[in-house]
Structure 1
Amino acid sequence: MKRLLLLLMLLQAITSCNKLLDKKPTDFVDPAGFYNSEEELNMALAAVYDPLGNEYMYGSSLWFQFGICTDEAFYAFSANAYSAPMFYQYDYTNPYVGGIWQQCYIGIERANMLIENINKPSMDETKRQAILGEALFLRAYYHFILVSNYGDVPLKLKSSDNVNSISIPRTPAKQVYEQIVTDMKEAEGKVNTITSIGNSSHVSKTAVRGILARVYLYMAGAPMNDQSKYADALYWAQQVDAGNEHELLTTYNATITNSAYSQIFINQCRDIYDIKECIWEVDFYAKDADPTYAEMGKVGTMNLGCTNIDTGRSSSNIKTTIKLYRLYGNGDLRRDWAIAPFSYSATANPLTRTYYTSTNIIGRDAGKWRRSYEPSNFVKLQFTNGTNFPLLRYADVLLMQAEAENEVNGPTATAYTAINKVRRRAYGLPVNVASTVADVPAGLTPAQFRQFIREERARELCFEGVRKGDLLRWGIFTNVMNEMVAEINASNASFTNKSRWITGYATAASSGRYQLLPVPALELNVNKGMTQNPGW
């Protein structure tokens, strides 16, 4: 199931230095001597995927350092070099600001090299095209991360031929997005179906379609505000259903949990692929006793606090907001899974759970990925684990369908059907049967339906790294930051906690510059054609 990691390990082995005094470094793969077989193309493809799991990407940064301090959650402790992004206490020298940029361009460079050498080996043409499709998509996806975080960025469609003299100007965001769409559309016709792949780690046709829907929603929203793109988003979200490969998970193991929603994340903790619900994931690996051959992220190690490493140590770093807690209605089974209703109060094994009182709402731990469900053969380390990170779930696709349909045609039956499936599952009800308890109220105006979708995305997708992007594309980021300052100040938290917890929100609301990251210092130093973002 972790074939991508195994291919990367093999690639590292064959490119390592054999002699300490070799004058020509052999830890660099010379294109002239590589890409000569199907196996080498697959190893090169694994290297294109690799940056996704880096600490500065989905290993942590994109959903933790730059993913919280929204109306879902905040960081509870003090600011330092590691946590500065969560308080908006960073500048262009911050390693996390530079890390996203660097890892994306590493992925783009590797993708370009693979694309340029795709025709070298003699091999099955269908397999060649599938590899090419994945490389094209990943090149586009790395550009998508860049343009949505930094704005205008260099559009790079060829591998570098001179690293000693670099002068690559920024490409307007509109042009970058257009190339992203072009690459992804070409990729969609080449990659395999998720059914034939059998896992969520490789990019499949439905993954491409779902991410295309997300890209078009970004183009429709701020800062581009090209509302004609809602129709494209609707088309691609609906295309996810074309192959009948996906559906919401509706079953669960009643001996360990009480909802299908929680079962999604238990499966991820247990390294179980569910290709019907989970369309695309970043792969991590923590099996076996030797952590040397593991590639881990931090999903689960930052929520539900636990000091017992046998259960699964977690740092209690993601604290949930009052707003998120109150968004859930009575009977919504997602609330007490996404937001842990208890804390661990001792280090003994088994641990003792202390449940919160009804008045103790602010600052509860996020509880979506619980390390107690990790298999016993997983390496149990303090700060990392092997749980995959979800990049696209089918529930997200349904909510994108509902959002785009509402923007194009209003709150039609199609829009209601899509969102109501998600809500019925949340209440433990059959997803195709109408419910007076779970269903969105009938007769909403487009504006009311839009607001309901915005709240539903928080309820369903909290802590999955999409909320900040949603707030920005909806054009409500600054208003929400101000609302969170007011919420914390009105809460029953201590004066000390209030002062610390509002820091990030108040800073983010203080200037429009925080809606984009600054161009990293290293890029400004080496790229003579680069300019800085406004305000930085």
Structure 2
Amino acid sequence: MKITHILLAGTILIGSVSCSKLDEKPESLLVSEQFYLNENQAVSAVNGSYRKLYESGQSIYNSLFQIAVEMATDDYEAGPRARNAHVRAISNLTHDASNDRMEQLWKQSYDAINASNQNIEYIAQIDTEKINEFIRQRLINEAKFLRALHYFNLVRWFGPVPLVLQPATSLSVDELYVAKATEKEVYLQIIADLKDAENLPQYKSYGDNDKGRASSGAAKSILAKVYLTQQDWSNAKLKAQEVIDKEGYDLFPEFTDVFNIDMKNGIEHIFSAQFKGNSGYQGNSLASRSAPTDIPGINGDYADAWHTEGGLYNSFSSQDKRLSTTFTIGMTSPIDGKYYALAKPQFHKYYDESVVGNQSQSSKNLPIIRYAEVLLILAEAENELNGPSSLAQAAINKVRVRADIDPVGADLIKDTFREAVFEERRKELTFEYQRWFDLVRRGATYYVTKLKAAGKINAAPRHLHFPTPQRELNLNPNLKQHPDWINN
């Protein structure tokens, strides 16, 4: 997807602005209103909102997810070169409300939400002769999709959060000091936005310049995941089945194709964070963060590592085709041509062979949701409704057959099939920002048991959510800390 860089308003973040004149109208907001004058500007504004998913630095889908969320699981840990004390605290489950990664999760998410709110509000006001009505509605629904995605992350990370649905138009107390909505209220808004976004075009109708935009299939797939998270099994099954039957997706023949740069935004990629190195874009920093440091010419950071005691690597069977794409056990130096065995397997999904010495410019996309996950959503929801039926088995086995591992048999019962699906998700979606969400939606006992079994002995029920950042509490008197984090 082509992204045009624009200078839009400095967005107003919840609790992040202090000013002596709280009723004044900021110049940045006047700029925003003056920007939305025609279709080209509207398209540029929405393109800028996509950019907030993965823009340069440690942005939400460009490593912040990994260092602020996934480190708090049984599969990941801060690597040898992870120097930030806040990241290491999350890895050790000793983080608290002062953690700067929590601040960034909150701040960047609300920055992106405000951008979507601006798009929804101001694109609707563009004169009819200045914008095609189909494009207007498509752009508004894309903005609603992005807003829903950010709120879906926020409510799972923090629980109750402020629900802001209009762009900031002043620095008034009422607009700045927003109290938290309930989780139910947030989920109702997520579902409403995604239902509107279901009216987006199918992904195959987009031309080359628009590949990677939100589509009807992306909205339905995220909606299926929302229902799954809420344990609304019937709607999760219904929506996943609709994606499978009507949206035209399929698995790539080979797992490695999912991460083949030449096949980006292909038949399995429902919605991805778009990366393109060496062309003004920030590359996928996960490639550099996980690459080795001690092989001449590789120049990796090794700041992200798999947590050995969690057993992830050994959970793959030797014939599993996903193993060699997900991990590497050694590499050949581009400098001296020698093969170097690693002391420990390292993540390899986003390693870009075209930029061997500069993995910060990796062009491999990061899947936010792909067809394999929709199949696993269907398998899980169907099992919860009807046990391991032939439909549930067919869905999970399509993923397993592609990986060249044995299909699950008909001898499983509901409980063992549930665990089979979770293990399949773990291996299929490794290093794709899914593990923490999967652990916590099973509840405190499941999460704590898994982490303590993996040697992360500080795991506690409060870790089902992250604390509301202390900085936001200090700035906004109407915010309250999550109950699980009071006096902790």
Q: TM-score, length-normalised on structure 2?
A: 0.87
Instruction: Select which of 216, 220, 224 maps to 2:227.
Output: 216
Q: How does 1:260-409 map to 2 (within 5 A)?
A: 260-265=254-259, 267=260, 270=261, 272-288=263-279, 293-307=280-294, 311=298, 313-315=300-302, 317-321=304-308, 323-342=311-330, 348-354=335-341, 363-371=344-352, 373-374=353-354, 381=358, 383=360, 385-409=362-386
State the superposition RMSD in angstroms. 2.6
The answer to which of 465-474 and 111-120 deviates more is 111-120
- Runs of 4+, deviation exceeding 4 Å: 24-29, 306-312
Q: How does 1:506-517 map to 2 (within 5 A)?
A: 506-507=457-458, 509=459, 511-517=460-466
Residue of structure 2 in register with 1:3 after alignment: 2
Cα deviation, residue 90, structure 1: 2.3
Distance 2:153 2:194 in 1: 14
Distance 2:308 2:403 in 1: 20
Cα deviation, residue 349, structure 1: 3.8
Residue of structure 2 in register with 1:500 after alignment: none
Q: How does 1:57-206 map to 2 (within 5 A)?
A: 57-77=60-80, 80-119=85-124, 120-122=126-128, 123-165=131-173, 166-189=176-199, 191-198=200-207, 201-206=212-217
User: How many aligned residue pairs are there?
Assistant: 457
Residue of structure 2 in register with 1:224 after alignment: none
Distance 1:154 1:144 in 2: 13
Q: Report the secondary structure of 2:382's partner residue.
A: helix
Q: Report the secondary structure of 2:373's partner residue.
A: helix
Cα-to-partner distance string for 1:468-519 (whole Å, 9 max, x where unaligned): 100000121111011101xxxxxxxxxxxxxxxxxxx222x1x322221111
Distance 2:283 2:413 in 1: 45
Residue of structure 2 in register with 1:19 after alignment: none
Cα distance change, pair 312–246 in 1 and its aligned pair in 2 (3 A): farther
CA contact (8 A) 1:59 1:298 kept: yes
Cα deviation, residue 441, structure 1: 1.6
Cα-to-partner distance string for 1:59-110 (whole Å, 9 max, x where unaligned): 1111333113423232243662344322223222222101111111111111
CA contact (8 A) 2:355 2:362 kept: no
CA contact (8 A) 1:262 1:337 kept: yes
Cα deviation, residue 154, structure 1: 0.7
Cα distance change, pair 274–294 in 1 and its aligned pair in 2 (3 A): closer
Residue of structure 2 in register with 1:417 after alignment: 394
Q: TM-score, length-normalised on structure 1?
A: 0.79
Instruction: Select which of 412, 415, 434 maps to 1:466.
Output: 434
Structure 1 gaps of 5+ residues are: 16-23, 221-228, 251-259, 357-362, 428-436, 486-504
Cα distance change, pair 42–523 in 1 and its aligned pair in 2 (3 A): same
Cα-to-partner distance string for 1:320-363 (whole Å, 9 max, x where unaligned): 5362223223421212331223256x68343523267xxxxxx4
Distance 2:300 2:94 in 1: 27
Residue of structure 2 in register with 1:499 after alignment: none
Distance 1:517 1:439 in 2: 37
Cα deviation, residue 375, structure 1: 5.5
Distance 1:118 1:309 in 2: 51
Cα deviation, residue 394, structure 1: 0.8
Cα deviation, residue 316, structure 1: 5.7
Cα deviation, residue 273, structure 1: 1.4
Distance 1:286 1:315 in 2: 19
Distance 1:440 1:234 in 2: 20
Distance 1:309 1:383 in 2: 16
Cα deviation, residue 317, structure 1: 2.7
User: Which structure dedicates a bigger proportion of its chain to helix?
Assistant: 2
Q: Report the secondary structure of 1:93's partner residue.
A: coil
Distance 2:258 2:308 in 1: 23
Distance 1:13 1:459 in 2: 40
